[in-house]
Amino acid sequence: MSITNKITVKRAEIAVAVILALCSIALMIKSSENRITWNAEENMGAGFLPFYLSLGMLICTILTIIKFVLKRSPQSKDDTPFIDAVAFKFIAVTIISLVVLVLAIGYLGIYFSLIFFLAFYLRYFSEKSIAFITIFAITTPILTFLFFEWMLKIPLPQGVSEPLFYPVYDFMYGGFSFAVKMIFIILTVLLPTALVFLTTRFIK
C-alpha cells in the first residue's frame, strides 16, 4: 500500500484540524507579546484583537475536532485517499520546483532562474520539442524584463547576475534614439516571440 493510500481524507481532516489548533495557540502566544487587555482605565491594547481572534480560531478548530469525533462532518467518514498517487506526484513536483525557483531568485536573480524553471517545468509536463522549450524559456524572461524594468520601471531581483544587466541599462537609457531601441527590441524580442507563436502551431 502506497503512502498516498494511507493518507485518507479522514486522517487529513483530523491532522489539519490539529495543526490549525496548534497554529491558533501559537498565534495567541505571539499576540500576548503586546498588551491584550481592554478595560475602563486603558484603551484596547495592540494585542487584544489578534489574541481574541486567534482564540476564536482555536474554538472553531476544536469544534471541527468535536464534529470529527462525533462523526458529524462528511470528512470524518471518508476513507478514500486524500489525493491519488499520480496527482500527488504532479503536485509535489510543482511545489518543489516553485520552492527551488524562489530560492534561486534570491541568489541568481529572477531572469536566469526563470529560464531554468520554465525549461524544467515544460520538459516535465508538456510534450513540446526541445527547440520550442528553449525559445519559450528564453523569451519569457526577456518579455518579463521589458515589461517590468523598462515599461513599468519596477526593478525585479537580479541577485549575482546584476552586473550582466549594466550594459542593457546603458543601452536603455543611453543616448540612442527611440527608433534604434525599437529596432533592437524587435530583433531581440518580438522576432523570437513570433517564432514561439509559430512553433506552437508547427512544432509539437
Partner 1 sequence: MSIIKKLALVVVSLSLVAVSSVSSAKPFSPKKPVELIIPAGQGGGADEIARLVQGVIEKNDYASKPVIPINKSGGSGGEAMTYVKKKAGDEHTLIITLNNVLTTPVNQPELGIDFFNDFTPLARLITDTFLVWIATEGKNTAGVETFDDFIDLAKGNGLVMGGTGSMSEDELLLGMMRGQFGFDAKYVPYSGGGAVAKGLVGGESDFTLNNPSEQMGFYQSGDSKALVMMTPERNPAFPEVPSSYELGYPDLEYYMMRAFMAPAGIDAEVEKYYTGLLHTVYHDDEFQTFNIDDGKLMSWLEGFGLKDFLAIEYEKHGEIIKNFN
Partner 2 sequence: METVGFLLDGIFTSLQWFNLALLIFGCLIGLFVGAMPGLGSVNGVAILIPITFIIPPTAAIIFLAAVYYGAMYGGAISSVMLGIPGASTAVATVFDGRPLAVKGEAMTALTAAAVGSFVGGTVSVILFTLFAPPLAEVALRFNAPETFALMVMAFATFVGLGGDDVPKTIFSILIGLALSTIGLDLITGKPRLIFFNIPGFLHGINFLVLAIGIYGIGEMLWTLEETKGKVQMSKLSVNMKEVGRAFGALKKTIMAMNIGSFLGFFVGILPAAGATPASLMSYGITKQLSKNSKEFGEGVPAGVVAPECANNSASTGSMLPMLTLGIPGSPTTAILLGGMILWGLTPGPLLFTQEPEFVWGLIGSLYIANFFTLVLNIALIPAFLMVLRIPFAILAPVIFVLCVTGGYAPTQSLHDVWLMLLFGFAGYILRKLDYPVAPAVLSIVLGPLAEKALRQSLILSDGSMGIFFDVSEKPIAAVIMYIAIVLLIMPAFGPLYRRLFKKKQTA
Residues lying near partner 2 in the complex (CB under 8 A):
9, 12-13, 16, 20, 27, 30-31, 34, 38-40, 43-47, 49-50, 53-54, 56-57, 60-61, 63-64, 67, 73-75, 82-83, 86-87, 90-91, 94-95, 98-99, 101-102, 105-106, 110, 114, 117-118, 121-122, 125-128, 136, 140, 144, 147-148, 151-157, 200
Helix, strand, or coil (residue 81): strand
Contact residue for partner 1 among 180, 191, 194, 198 (CB under 8 A) = 180
How far apart CA 141 and CA 76 sit, in angstroms, is 46
Partner from partner 2, partner 1, none binding residue 102, C-beta < 5-8 Å depending on class: partner 2
The grid cell for 177 is 534614439
Helices (H), the chain: 3-6, 9-31, 48-69, 85-108, 110-125, 130-145, 166-173, 178-185, 191-202
187 is a site residue for partner 1 (CB under 8 A):
yes
- Nearer to partner 2 by Cβ, of 39 and 177: the residue is 39
The grid cell for 12 is 487529513
Smallest separation (angstroms) from partner 2 to the CB of 54: 5
Smallest separation (angstroms) from partner 1 to the CB of 102: 18
Smallest separation (angstroms) from partner 1 to the CB of 35: 13
The letter for the amino acid at 150 is W
Neighbours of 147 (CB within 10 A): 12
173 is a site residue for partner 1 (CB under 8 A):
yes
Q: Could you tell me which residues are beta bridge partners of residue 8?
A: 81
Sign, Cα dihedral of 24, 4, 118, 196: negative
Q: What are phi and psi of 193, to 5 degrees?
A: -65, -45
Residue numbers of the site for partner 1 (CB under 8 A)? 149, 153-155, 162-171, 173-174, 176, 179-180, 183-184, 187
